[in-house]
């Protein structure tokens, strides 16, 4: 029998797919299971991988939260820049609700991650450094959905994602990439005048620069833990099985 409020948290990433069952308190109730994101990351390929992970989850849960790397409206994917175009317009929430038999919510992955760490006071940002560049904005704890800052021009004709995404890290090396991260953090300050910026994602651990006092590095597991808070803060209706 599932613990009340237990949530199956799924993180769909450009590099890896992850799952974990989390209690309402934020405590992990299961081990995190992970598999590499298939290439090409088409809808059928990703769903096969997710079905394989679901077979490894033996802990009961009452609901499902999914973080997806793109614009999501009503649990329907609108864009998937680091996956396959077949995801555009795909009702991922409906599919996973049917697969799991549980109410399901799908949100942009940076949006989910931020829900795990924000205090709910003033303007807060969550930036994720991974395959791409994730961004989420919160005002007094309310998520402002689908601001894709990643694709906005930043410097020398390059977008934020092109400037500090994983391809850039590989191309220029850690030292130069860290200088780029510093520039991005400095630029976001006078634009959003944030109270706190949370820096997460798989590549956040590679950030070695000294960060301002109001910039806090967070563990990448927040991408899963935020799935619980999603059910407390998100006002959109879940997809029912």
Q: What is the pLDDT of residues 25-35, one digit of tens each?
A: 989 999 999 99
pTM to 2 decimal places: 0.93
Task: Identify the pLDDT of residue 223.
Answer: 80
Task: Identify the pLDDT of residue 87.
Answer: 98
Task: Identify the pLDDT of residue 49.
Answer: 98
Give the model confidence (pLDDT) of 149-193 as tens digits: 999 999 989 999 999 999 999 999 999 999 999 999 999 999 999
Contact 214, 194 (CB under 8 A): yes
CA dist 54 and 67 (Å) reads: 16
Task: Identify the pLDDT of residue 2.
Answer: 85
CA dist 176 and 173 (Å) reads: 6
Give the model confidence (pLDDT) of 65-123 as tens digits: 999 999 999 999 999 999 999 999 999 999 999 999 999 999 999 999 999 999 999 99
CA angle centred on 137, ends 79 and 118, rounded to 5°: 120
Contact 53, 65 (CB under 8 A): no
CA dist 110 and 108 (Å) reads: 6
DSSP-assigned states of every residue in 30-96: S--EEEEPPSS--HHHHHHHHHHHHTT--S--SEEEEEESS-EETTEE---TTS-GGGTT--HHHHH
Tell me which DSSP letter residue 65 carries.
Answer: E
Give the model confidence (pLDDT) of 208-219 as tens digits: 999 999 999 998
Q: Using pLDDT thresholds of 50, 70 and 90, give the confidence band for residue 221.
A: confident
Domains of the chain plus CATH, in order, are 7-111+222-233 (3.30.420.40), 119-217 (3.30.420.40)
Q: Using pLDDT thresholds of 50, 70 and 90, give the confidence band for residue 10.
A: very high
Tell me which DSSP letter residue 201 carries.
Answer: S
Task: Identify the pLDDT of residue 236.
Answer: 77
Task: Identify the pLDDT of residue 224.
Answer: 85
């Amino acid at each position: 029998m599932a613990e009340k409020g237990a949530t199956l948290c799924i993180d769909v990433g450009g590099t890896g797919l992850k799952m974990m069952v989390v209690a309402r308190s934020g405590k992990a109730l299961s081990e995190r299971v992970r598999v590499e994101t298939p290439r090409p990351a088409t809808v059928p390929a990703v769903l096969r991988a997710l079905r394989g992970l679901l077979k490894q989850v033996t802990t009961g849960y009452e609901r499902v939260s999914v973080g997806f790397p793109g614009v999501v409206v009503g649990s329907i994917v609108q864009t998937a820049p680091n996956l396959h175009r077949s995801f555009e317009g795909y009702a991922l929430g409906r599919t996973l609700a049917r697969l799991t038999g549980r109410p399901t919510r799908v949100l942009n992955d940076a949006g989910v991650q931020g829900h795990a760490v924000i205090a709910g006071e003033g303007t807060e940002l969550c930036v994720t450094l991974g395959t791409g560049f994730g961004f989420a904005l919160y005002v007094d704890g309310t998520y402002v959905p689908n601001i894709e800052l990643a694709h906005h021009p930043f410097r020398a004709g390059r977008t934020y994602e092109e400037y500090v995404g994983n391809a850039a890290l590989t191309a220029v090396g850690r030292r130069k990439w860290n200088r780029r991260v510093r520039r991005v953090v400095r630029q976001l300050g006078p634009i959003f005048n944030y109270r706190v910026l949370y820096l997460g994602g798989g590549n956040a651990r590679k950030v070695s620069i000294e960060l301002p006092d109001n910039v806090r590095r967070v563990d990448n597991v927040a991408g899963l833990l935020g799935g619980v808070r999603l059910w407390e803060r998100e006002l959109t209706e879940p997809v029912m099985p």
